[in-house]
Structure 1
């Protein structure tokens, strides 16, 4: 037999003989190696156990993955339709007020889980439940809802589409012929969106394996949503999700009732809590006030601190410093007889300096993404190892190789199982493109068939660049591509042939293509991580897009008919980006001759400033970049004012204090609280619009007057009595 050090011994040896020093050393070394081997085995077992705990797919190993047809359930489509209406109303309200739209993917996944879970519980108790609720079905709902409310943004109801209207054209103070305006009508809006919204879905379908598996693009929002859905459907996750939904429900009801309460005091212009001069009457004149909006408090809780601070800094710089100083130049830089809303006066500085900052920021990020995308694509194409990760992907997964290989093996297997034939993608693209080329010119005669053909020729390349850049940075540049189309096609058509409207329509075509393409790839990433079938993902995206093409225009039409001052500066729904986009189109065809004095010089300064700030952010690195403001966020209040920035910073302050008092709870429930605030206030807009259409007026007008004005009002009332 063998002893601990591996030497052979015999039972008959004298027990009294002592070991030599060498044999003792050998014995100790053997024991040490044995203990080391034991510890190594123990550590390996512990690591394996830890890997099993960290591995998402090991948690779901015993659960059946339903085929793609079972993922597309009737209940999923019903819930998706209801949630699509709700989120389209929310996005439309944000579109028509500030244009800042936070990611609502988490809210869509959370509410989808809640509604279907409630549905299945009721059926389970009645004994009618046939199929359990799976994470794949949850992913289908989230995909469908995001596709639908995405149309409320890319449809341009707060930007290029509403910019075509005569209501926006009147604000531009330019001569507008009939060929440069097109007022909203439900029929042509729905038709236009159906023609241009689907082609982006077909453009990148053949590249889904390359983008998700070969390139291993991270798509941070899609990855975060997938982790959320995976977490919901584990036993611990379901328990947490129930608490989150309960919290969301409380704040949803509270926000809805708060909106209802405020409505009673808005019987007139500048009435109610939205006109409360919280920082004083003089500050109120410069749009510095807290308007008690639950929506923007919630948006502030979702948006990063830097975004909210940047918006506030932009408001202080413009409305606190620049506009008062330029206003003092009235009569010198521009005519004193002009009203504040005239583009040849103070309004021109507000609008065009804002445009300059937006274009500077967009151009810098566009070039930045391209400089990362093109070398990475070339490098990857030249590499023999097609499975290698591109150098610019941000993969923060700290799991072990064994766990990665297991999860990825499972995910790749199912992701490649239900192939979408390339023939379907190519034929679909050509068919939709042919219909669009033949039909869009009938809606917009200023755009000829060859303009649309050129757009669709280059669209797949631009869609790929946008989807790739979104996968790297989580930043979609759809609006930047749209602005580029405004200038290119506006100049091509010319002012004499309706170049303004042609540029805006071309913006819509381009923006819908690149936006839907990146959204689809983002959802493919979510489906990859939740084992949802690519076929069910693609079909749910198509269904959601079709829903959005109907729901979006209908919701906008409700706003348009209910609020007669929609799009008017200073109103409840000023639609600030509509005027910005229209003036971009005018600038593209008419040049800079109509700008007020020194406006162009200031535009150059702020255009260059936006580029330099972005460059500085990249040079100093992530450690210091979080202290440097974002030019795009700063540009928004230049035109609109800083009142919503105060609401958003209030949301940031609430979150900051909450994180200091109880960070774990804040991390778990902050998004639910914010979603409740946004959803409740957003849904109140629906009954508010119905009341306005029915001509039901609020009973009370709450106004705030200075002491001097109040004395004059009292004196006037006394004369009447």
Structure 2
């Protein structure tokens, strides 16, 4: 046998253990990993739908899924491998993010806000089967986009994808593996050995970190200095934080004043919506989001609710009730928020577009395509049996587009959106996915809000005057961009941990299939039990979608709002440019430059949501400053995850109680009228 053949066998032995089946994907794709991923994903699905309808906030929770999955696997007879954990968290994320991908927190509530006199069409409330059809139409397009995007942004360009990288690092620590970067260099070394017959390949491996060579000879993992959370300690922290958040949620259901404290006085609470919600889940969200993001959100809250809202009210620009999203101050500042989000997202995309043009279009025009392809091939570390075949991708994309176009036509009819417009929506989704994924890989921010607005602008031009088509086509495009971005973070994690991309692909499909039923059923139950949008679930992003669609059709803005929109758009365009430059330049304090999207969310949500998250952000900052991320970071993540999951899961109990007519126990303390569960509110 030739030297190259021996080296190829050596590489295969590095990829597969003695008991691994011939199909590499099967070693990672196990029933227990998928089932645990579906279980965790269903909890995340309810949690994301609950918080998405309340605040518009949705989280991938990939890191939290991996951590909880690791703890749960300890209950099994044989603990999971790191690769199984990757498949578990991939399945959980695909299941848990469907409320945003299918528009249950924005698109569907926006359709329910339509006014026949103003919009020419009555409100549209989809039945359960119609909502399932709509979800099926948009659930799989992004999944089939992920394999080709993976080859481009993860293998060839090697973008960072900070959240996916952090999840990979956590999994490597939990499972006592070498650091992901070391493992990746090791696998690339084997690939170099297998593809050459000369001495250069051997020299490449010999030049690796000495610790790697020692570990290869001893078949032992490279030691890391990051501590592993103890099983008993992890379960204890997760259990008590989950229980505490759940008890608070039930207490707030029976005594709504618990979650609506007039911290700044009854007048500000009743007239200006300044209350405080001591929700442990919002504190947990603040911990996960981090202090810089929560600080940006609260700066936006102060400007929006403390300055612009009173200004608009007292100047007569927003004469209606403060909380009215049409003629009130809340509706007035909504437009400024929209301008900030669009400006921030678009400016952040400019360098992505420029680089994409330079690296692809310009290099192709100069005849260097062959060089690019050869580089891409040399950087791939997976064997063909572990990759998703391109034939699957081609058939899947074609099938998902055709099926999606047909289902959208069946659900909404010709009056809603023409099939050719839906088809264009999928094309837009594919193009915007490239931009969104690259932005996510470089900045850890997927600007789906701005991308959705780009799609709305496009469809206002090609199908003017049709608000329903504008919203639906924008939702189709946004779904592809959002889902492709989320899945790319998971594939980055799998790339670092050496999990099979094919196994992750299967997990994505299975998670998406189940989540269609879970999300639709949960949303239908919420609709029956609560008014959406309403006091308990204001669905702020629904007003953003509908507001822009109306603006593009009518061109009418609230009085003087255009001036402030232009000012804040220019201001945060400059801030976004500075932040993008600082991040790309590696400036260590770049995270303290305000985030335009977070700042705008402070406008969308009432102060109660932002203040509680600020508490969590402060806790995160103080804790890490005093204890250090290496000494206690994992435990804090466990506690934050328990806080978020506790309220999200126990909210299902509240939903069942509301459905069966069990009301609040007492409205004591709700005199300010801001308690969502009391009749007076």
TM-score range, shorter chain: 0.7 to 0.9
Distance 2:229 2:490 in 1: 25
1:675 equivalent in alignment to 2:647: no
Match of 1:440 in 2: 408
Contact 1:361 1:610 in 2 (8 A): yes
Match of 2:568 in 1: 606
* Pairs aligned (count): 601
Match of 1:189 in 2: 131
Contact 1:366 1:480 in 2 (8 A): no
Q: Give 1:588 deviation, angstroms.
A: 1.5
For residue 505 of structure 1, the aligned residue among 469, 472, 475 is 472
Contact 1:482 1:506 in 2 (8 A): no
Gaps of 5+ in 1: 1-56, 122-131, 267-271, 391-407, 707-721
Q: Give 1:326 deviation, angstroms.
A: 2.2
Q: Give 1:379 deviation, angstroms.
A: 6.6
Distance 1:136 1:619 in 2: 36
1:223 equivalent in alignment to 2:206: no
For residue 343 of structure 1, the aligned residue among 326, 339, 353 is 326
For residue 248 of structure 1, the aligned residue among 232, 238, 249 is 238
Match of 1:327 in 2: 313
Match of 2:212 in 1: none
Q: Give 1:102 deviation, angstroms.
A: 3.8
Contact 1:161 1:505 in 2 (8 A): no
For residue 486 of structure 2, the aligned residue among 497, 519, 524 is 519
TM-score under structure 2 normalisation? 0.82
For residue 526 of structure 2, the aligned residue among 559, 562, 578 is 559
Distance 1:522 1:596 in 2: 40
Match of 1:163 in 2: 110
1:304-347 Cα shifts (integer Å, max 9, x gaps): 211111111111112112211222122xx46x577862624534
Distance 2:600 2:411 in 1: 33
1:141-169 Cα shifts (integer Å, max 9, x gaps): 1001101112111211111221001xx23
CA spacing shift, 1:616–1:139, aligned 2, 3 Å: closer
Give the secondary-structure state (helix, strand or coil) at the position aligned to 2:438: helix
Contact 1:415 1:534 in 2 (8 A): no
For residue 304 of structure 1, the aligned residue among 271, 290, 300 is 290
Match of 2:551 in 1: 587
Q: Give 1:605 deviation, angstroms.
A: 1.6
Distance 2:58 2:406 in 1: 34
Contact 1:199 1:429 in 2 (8 A): yes
Give the secondary-structure state (helix, strand or coil) at the position aligned to 1:513: helix
Contact 2:62 2:490 in 1 (8 A): no
Gaps of 5+ in 2: 1-11, 178-223, 673-681
CA spacing shift, 1:97–1:108, aligned 2, 3 Å: same
Distance 2:235 2:356 in 1: 39
Contact 2:109 2:532 in 1 (8 A): no
Match of 1:474 in 2: 444
Match of 2:118 in 1: 175
Distance 1:589 1:630 in 2: 30
For residue 139 of structure 1, the aligned residue among 68, 81, 86 is 86
Match of 1:269 in 2: none
1:212 equivalent in alignment to 2:154: yes
1:67-466 alignment runs, 5 A limit: 67-120=24-77, 133-165=80-112, 168-169=113-114, 175-178=118-121, 181-234=123-176, 240=230, 242-266=232-256, 272-284=257-269, 285-330=271-316, 333=317, 336=319, 341=324, 343-378=326-361, 382=368, 386=372, 412-445=380-413, 446-466=416-436
Which protein shows a greater Rg?
A: 1
Distance 2:437 2:612 in 1: 32
Contact 1:466 1:514 in 2 (8 A): yes
Q: Give 1:63 deviation, angstroms.
A: 8.5
TM-score under structure 1 normalisation? 0.77
CA spacing shift, 1:602–1:61, aligned 2, 3 Å: same
CA spacing shift, 1:494–1:265, aligned 2, 3 Å: same
CA spacing shift, 1:616–1:300, aligned 2, 3 Å: same
CA spacing shift, 1:695–1:337, aligned 2, 3 Å: closer
Match of 1:54 in 2: none
Match of 1:28 in 2: none
Distance 2:322 2:578 in 1: 38
Contact 1:195 1:435 in 2 (8 A): yes
Distance 1:370 1:60 in 2: 36
Give the secondary-structure state (helix, strand or coil) at the position aligned to 1:587: helix
Distance 1:207 1:329 in 2: 50
Q: Give 1:441 deviation, angstroms.
A: 1.6
Distance 1:389 1:440 in 2: 40
Match of 1:702 in 2: 668
Distance 1:478 1:299 in 2: 20
Q: Give 1:88 deviation, angstroms.
A: 0.6
1:612-664 Cα shifts (integer Å, max 9, x gaps): 22123345663554443222111123232222111011112222332344224
Distance 1:279 1:190 in 2: 44
Distance 1:438 1:61 in 2: 43
1:532 equivalent in alignment to 2:499: yes
Alignment RMSD (CA, Å): 3.0
Q: Give 1:378 deviation, angstroms.
A: 4.5
Q: Give 1:458 deviation, angstroms.
A: 4.4
